[in-house]
Amino acid sequence: MATTSPQPADVIERRALNRAFLARQLLLARRTMPAEEALEHLVGLQAQAPIPPYYGLWTRLEDFRPAELAGLLTERRAVRIALMRGTVHLVTSADCRRLRPCLQPFMERSLITTFGKDLNGLDPAKVAAAGRELLEQSPLTVGDLSASLRTTWPDHPASALGNVVRSLLPVIQIPPRGVWGQSGQTTYATAEDWLGAPLDPEPDVDALVLRYLAAFGPATVKDIQAWSGLTRLRAVTERLRPQMVPFRDEDGRELWDLPGAPRPDPDTHAPVRYLAPYDNAILSHADRTRIISDEHRKAIATKNAVIPGTILVDGFVAGAWRTDRARGATTLNVQLFHPVSKRRRAELAEEGERLLLFASDGAGGRERELRIADA
């Protein structure tokens, strides 16, 4: 009996891959949706620094106001917690409970990799148990928590003891840290105490992979692993094969995607966008050339791993931005990496003025200035 040979997967060229990715990241057109819904769709926003998530939502949502996200944090409907790659993300409370169990293997592996020498002679489980007991009494700053632990383990660095708790326990950075217009030290509470509910008992890595594709796909297994920090995910994609569609990129690598996910025409217009510092859009793939060239990736790299705000022109990173404040004035400084057309420059200026107004919290009387430096 004759058999049918499998058909070769369709090839997605880089520009088409870019437009598919931008559509899922809500960057082709601002969307009208609640911030909480956007957080769920995006599987959270990277949040090593407190303020970037606000810019991340501003560039994606119509009429977004900081008070909406701040309210989610103070009402405990969203939280800041170490998740993907061990970095702090701002996610919905429901996602905190769903995602942390999936990512716990990475947190434990990363602890040993980063602090292995400092943990010699230490039982991390006992440190974590002591940390939980302390945090169940009241939230503690990182400094106070580490100092309390060091009274029991004086021969070990405070930083290592604190990171044992951060890695082995689901600890949340509670407000006012992360609230627009406020400041506060990093203060921990356990997720269970803060949310009044346990984490999901069964990690659902399959669901995690599918959600990644919905927000970041099409993608390779290496992309999914680079985003999450998890390893050995090829077995998961093989298990999910019947639910996905395969593609190939221009280099022949296998890409996975969801059948109904958006894949716009590669000539679809991509408006200028100011991405937040640390924006997930440029940090969530092994191969990031779908949005930033290797050359420009090097241009934004810093020794202390601070990722600046970046600018998309025609869908790809074309520059970086920062805001400076002095004496009540806010200045938006833009550094282009290559020349852009007059039309795109005008679009940069128009969008930059919107960003300035947002950064100054809509205060009409404050002085604002936009400076664009050419390559």
Instruction: Copy the structure tokens of residue 236.
Output: 């998961």
> Strands 171-173 and 78-82, how do they pair?
antiparallel
Instruction: Copy the structure tokens of residue 268.
Output: 């679809």
Global model pTM greater than 0.85: yes
Residue 218: predicted pLDDT: 98
Residue 117: predicted pLDDT: 85
Residue 362: predicted pLDDT: 55
Residue 210: predicted pLDDT: 98
Residue 3: predicted pLDDT: 40
- Shortest CA distance to 92 belongs to which of 55, 58, 47? 47
241: CB partners within 8 A, 6+ apart? none
| Dmax (CA) of the chain | 81
DSSP for residue 119: G
Kindly report the backbone phi and psi dihedral angles of residue 173, in degrees, each rounded to the nearest multiple of 5, phi listed first: -85, 110
23: CB partners within 8 A, 6+ apart? 262, 263, 264
Kindly report the backbone phi and psi dihedral angles of residue 187, in degrees, each rounded to the nearest multiple of 5, phi listed first: -125, 130
In tens digits, the chain (375 residues) has pLDDT values of 444 434 457 999 999 999 999 999 999 999 999 999 999 999 999 999 999 999 999 999 999 999 999 999 999 999 999 999 999 999 999 999 999 999 999 999 999 988 888 888 899 999 999 999 999 999 999 999 999 999 999 999 999 999 999 999 999 999 999 999 998 999 999 999 999 999 999 999 999 999 999 999 999 999 999 999 999 999 999 999 999 999 999 999 999 999 999 999 999 999 999 999 999 999 999 999 999 999 999 989 877 788 999 999 999 999 999 998 887 788 999 999 999 999 999 999 999 999 999 988 755 446 888 898 887
Residue 6: predicted pLDDT: 44
Question: Residue 91's beta-bridge partner residues?
Answer: 79
308: CB partners within 8 A, 6+ apart? 277, 300, 302, 320, 321, 322
Omega within 30 of 0 (cis) for the link into 8: no
